[in-house]
Amino acid sequence: MSNIVAIVGRPNVGKSTFFNRLTETRAAIVDDMPGVTRDRNYGKSIWNGVEFSIIDTGGYVSGSDDVFEEEIRRQANLAIQEADVIVFLVDVESGLTELDISVYDLLRRNDKPVITVVNKVDNHQRGLDANEFYSLGIEKFFPVSSINGLGTGDLLDEIVDLLPKVVEEVADEKIPRIAVVGRPNVGKSSIINTLVGEERHIVTEVAGTTRDAVAQHYNKFGHNFILVDTAGLRKKTKVAEDVEFYSVMRSVRTIEDSDVCVLVLDATRGVEGQDVSIFHLIHRNKKGIVVVVNKWDLVEKDNHTMKTFERDILEKFAPIVDIPIVFTSALTKQRILKILEEAMMVFENRNRHIATSKLNELLLGFIEAYPPPAHKGKYVKIKYITQLPTKIPSFAFFCNLPQYIRDPYKRYLENKIRSNFNFKGIPIQLYFRQK
């Protein structure tokens, strides 16, 4: 299972800046006005080879009449319960407040490990001022500066030490995990019921019927894998109920723990913004993907309908276009087994390894025909290519000036790899290293 770290604290202590520092992004909006973050931000971090997810919660406020602060309070509580490690963030500029004490009292009642982090400690005097937080009764705290990254290394060491150790299940190590994901009410449970041949999952027209990620072993028609039905992933602004927030968090975890994700779209509604967000969540987690267009029987068709729909999907998901698309109907069982065939094909592509001799023989010819553009009069020469022993296909290109390889040329090389080897539905990574 993947690990989750939640950042909790009162408003305006710098949670969003801290989140951006740990995820090395600018995903969270940062402003001096308290209460800017009203939804959870979700991101990934990796430290010493350990990858984990981070939730930036809204500022925790107790006893407030503000409708937003009531929602922030509830979401923070849920993030606390779902997290493996909690980072309690306070601010040395404001010092210890009654609200800090109230939040810490809430946190220490949980059985989750809590790390106290004092933010905005960017000089010696503030380091001395931070000692005030020992009055919380804590044994130690971590002084950091989210702006310049001071102290975050020691903090990340502590987080990684406290995260539950992932135990690999040897018996199921080679059994692929296929997750069925998508917006609410696109027919995920109906597809699984049709595949399994049983009414194992409740199906209604009410969006959000499936609350938990439900896994089952599938061994039919020559296929053997773990099939997981997830709750529908909605926009954050639509996640109101407590139980639904749990569902979304578990769906995110299911994506992280899967090998291949089957993204189900509703043919009657086309590709919507949330479909694109889920697609990019899957791609960001470097998972295999199969796009399934359900309810195809309800669409009025002509000779060009399927091609037009497929073109629209690829335009919305660009620049990632090398993905299998299956048009199906759970009701009529049209092309239903094609989903399994494509999912297993993607899983095989994920584990595909190309011999070094074959890579060099093919790609060096393309590189010689179209070499990397010169940069400031300097010519880049790629001498050698090999595939790395990673979970997803990754390729190392050894050259004299790796820093001068630009994105258009990287896309050229990726396209040549994809056009000559079957990596359909799989993200691949290219690394350029000094020879």
Range in 172-176, 201-205, 335-339, 358-362 the model is least confident about? 201-205
Look-up: residue for tokens 């479909």?
275
pLDDT band at 69 (very low <50, low <70, confident <90, very high): low
Cα separation, 212 vs 251, whole angstroms:
8
Q: How is residue 188 written in tokens?
A: 């995920």
Average pLDDT of span 339-368: 94
Three-state SS for 314?
Answer: helix
pLDDT of residue 57: 73
- pLDDT value, residue 259: 92
Name 384's bridge partners.
398
Q: What pLDDT is recorded for position 99?
A: 83
Query: How confident is residue 426, by pLDDT bands cut at 50, 70 and 90?
Result: very high
Give me the pLDDT at residue 207, please.
40
DSSP state of 397: E
Single-letter amino acid code for the residue at 194: T
pLDDT band, residue 157 (cuts 50/70/90): very high
Hey, what are 253's tokens? 């975890």
The answer to whether 40 and 236 are in contact (CB under 8 A) is yes
Q: Round to whole Å and give the CA distance between 353 and 283.
A: 20
What is the mean predicted confidence (pLDDT) over 271-281?
85
Among 80-94, 206-220, 365-379, the minimum mean pLDDT is found in 206-220
More confident residue, 281 or 128: 128
Model pLDDT for residues 169-225, shown as the tens digit of each residue: 444 456 888 988 888 878 888 888 888 765 443 333 434 433 344 567 777 767 787
| pLDDT value, residue 74 | 65
Q: What is the pLDDT of residue 330?
A: 87
Comparing 421 with 65, which gets the higher pLDDT?
421
Give the confidence band of 31 by pLDDT, cuts at 50, 70, 90.
very low
Cα–Cα dist 315/275, whole Å:
13
Please compute the mean of the pLDDT values over residues 286-290 and round it to a whole number: 94
| pLDDT at residue 89 tops 60 | yes
Give me the pLDDT at residue 318, please: 86
Lowest mean pLDDT of 52-56, 267-271, 348-352, name the range.
52-56
**pLDDT computed for residue 254 by the predictor:** 78
Q: Is the pLDDT of residue 260 over 80?
A: yes
pLDDT at residue 433, as a whole number:
93
Per-residue model confidence (pLDDT) at position 1: 53
* In the predicted structure, residue 246 carries a pLDDT above the cut 70: no
pLDDT of 32 reads 36
